[in-house]
Amino acid sequence: MTRQLTAHSSLEALRKEAKRWLKALRAQDPTARERLRRSHPGAPLQPSLRDVQYALAREHGVDSWAALKAALAEMIRRDGNMPHAFFNVTQRS
């Protein structure tokens, strides 16, 4: 199932979601592992934050974390909506 970016999406929230997901994976959470398997079938057994960010991007229907950041930036540019937690998407990954 593809998730959608919304007017309430922010890069900071997506970063935090990826970190929470990674923490759950490291705690051996089976739900987190299954979610990763669905989004990133080739992920290593010990995924890194980069692997989780990639999987999160795939959940949103794009091919990479960079593409997810670009899609969020484009949505904000197009709609003129800037979530309070949104900062320059090109500065951090």
**In whole angstroms, what separates CA 49 from the centre of its chain?**
10
* Nearest one of 17, 85, 90, 5 to 49, comparing CA atoms: 17
- Token pair recorded at residue 64: 């990479």
pTM of the model: 0.79
Instruction: Say how far apart CA 48 and CA 74 lie, in whole Å.
Output: 27
Q: In which element (H, E) is residue 63 found?
A: none
**In whole angstroms, what separates CA 23 from the centre of its chain?**
14
Query: pLDDT 10s digit of each residue in the chain, 93 long?
Result: 578 776 677 899 999 999 999 999 999 999 999 999 999 999 999 999 999 999 999 999 999 999 999 998 888 888 775 544 444 443 444
Domain boundaries, the chain: 11-79
To 5 degrees, how large is the angle CA 72–CA 51–CA 9? 20
